[in-house]
Amino acid sequence: MTWKFLTRQTSLIWENIYELDEAKLVVLGVPLDSSVTGLPGTRLGPDRIREEFRLWASGYHPEMGNLEDARVYDVGNVEIVPGDMRASLERTYQVVKGILEENPDVKLVVLGGEHSITFPVVKALMDSGKDFDYLCFDAHWDLLENYMGLKESHASVNRRIMEILGKEKMEIKGVRISEKEEWELSNELGRAKDPVYLSIDLDVLEGVPVGTPVPGGWSFEKLWNEIKDRNWVAVDIVEYNPMLGTSPVPSELLRRFLLI
Ligand SMILES: [Mn+2]
């Protein structure tokens, strides 16, 4: 594993006691907020989620098990190039590719950052030979061809994924607001079958501080019931913006993904 493009001085959820090639789960942060439309701050998400995990998370759940049994390796954060969206996404791709070369069976838990980071993670998994469908929870379809000319925008991330994965392997749930072309295109999407890549844009929920908030969101329990029995190869938790407030939701999702 090359540590190029990683900031190892970042806060980790804990000191790693296994090597990367012994891990069952890898945690990776991608602190990007270059294309956020509203207030910036999602770059602070990965380390804040880790901090809140340390403050609030219990290592045991009666149905899910014990965190001490999870073989988790936290690789730190991708080193973002300020102001250069494409370079930052390319680095994310290279880092995920490198992780999978060292440990092809590891499951990934990716902490955003804005939703744009999902594309390079999905692409790196595909290029590493993984076969999976894509299940996304979001208040928006994120299916725009581009947003103000930017194809890498968070508002276009599911369109980019559609181009490489195919419509029939994609499902997006929880949408409440989007453009007409996106609603039309969404009719062509399929149903995601296991194993899946789970992408959780926290704006699907009510009350979590996010880059692009929409009222009328789901409850945490509704979201958890949708995902708890799914077989996943990787999951991302994106769009948390700690500059707008705080929420126990991202760190609790992290805890549950590490436990199950
Ligand atoms: Mn989104």
Task: List the domain boundaries for the chain.
Answer: 6-259
CA atoms within 13 A on the CB side of 4: 7
CA of 50 to the centre of ligand 1 (A): 21
CA of 142 to the centre of ligand 1 (A): 6
Residues 199, 141: Cα–Cα separation, whole Å: 12
Residues 200, 240: Cα–Cα separation, whole Å: 10
CA of 17 to the centre of ligand 1 (A): 34
Q: What is the mean pLDDT of residues 97-121?
A: 97
CA of 140 to the centre of ligand 1 (A): 6
Q: What per-residue confidence (pLDDT) applies to 211?
A: 86
Q: What per-residue confidence (pLDDT) applies to 68?
A: 78
Residue whose C-alpha is closest to residue 125's, from 141, 111, 108, 102: 108
Residues 57, 33: Cα–Cα separation, whole Å: 26
Beta strands in 139-204 (DSSP E): 170-173, 196-201
Q: For the chain, first and last CA: distance in Å?
A: 26
Q: How confident is the model at residue 67 (pLDDT cuts 50, 70, 90)?
A: confident
**pLDDT tens digits, 165-185:** 999 999 999 999 999 999 999
CA of 98 to the centre of ligand 1 (A): 26
Q: What per-residue confidence (pLDDT) applies to 36?
A: 84
CA of 62 to the centre of ligand 1 (A): 32
CA of 113 to the centre of ligand 1 (A): 11
Token output for 206: 């009510």
Token output for 27: 């945690």
CA of 224 to the centre of ligand 1 (A): 18
CA of 69 to the centre of ligand 1 (A): 32
**pLDDT tens digits, 11-66:** 788 888 888 999 999 999 999 999 888 888 999 999 999 999 988 877 777 777 78
Whether the per-residue pLDDT at 73 is higher than 80: the answer is: yes
- Residues β-bridged to residue 238: 201
Q: What per-residue confidence (pLDDT) applies to 10?
A: 67
Whether the per-residue pLDDT at 246 is higher than 70: the answer is: yes
Whether the per-residue pLDDT at 254 is higher than 80: the answer is: yes
CA of 63 to the centre of ligand 1 (A): 30
Residues 80, 117: Cα–Cα separation, whole Å: 11
CATH superfamily of 6-259: Ureohydrolase domain (3.40.800.10)
CA of 204 to the centre of ligand 1 (A): 8
Whether the per-residue pLDDT at 2 is higher than 70: the answer is: no
Residue whose C-alpha is closest to residue 257's, from 222, 233, 221: 233
Tell me the percentage of the chain whose pLDDT exceeds 90. 82
CA of 203 to the centre of ligand 1 (A): 7
Instruction: Yes or no: say if 123 and 248 are a contact pair by the CB < 8 Å rule.
Output: no
Residues 91, 144: Cα–Cα separation, whole Å: 24
Q: What is the mean pLDDT of residues 91-112?
A: 97
CA of 70 to the centre of ligand 1 (A): 29
Q: How confident is the model at residue 8 (pLDDT cuts 50, 70, 90)?
A: low
Q: What per-residue confidence (pLDDT) applies to 126?
A: 98
CA of 160 to the centre of ligand 1 (A): 12
CA of 250 to the centre of ligand 1 (A): 15
Residues 153, 161: Cα–Cα separation, whole Å: 12
- Residues β-bridged to residue 112: 30
Q: What per-residue confidence (pLDDT) applies to 91?
A: 97
* Type of residue found at 22: E
Q: How confident is the model at residue 256 (pLDDT cuts 50, 70, 90)?
A: very high
Whether the per-residue pLDDT at 9 is higher than 80: the answer is: no
Report the chain's mean pLDDT, rounded to a whole number. 93
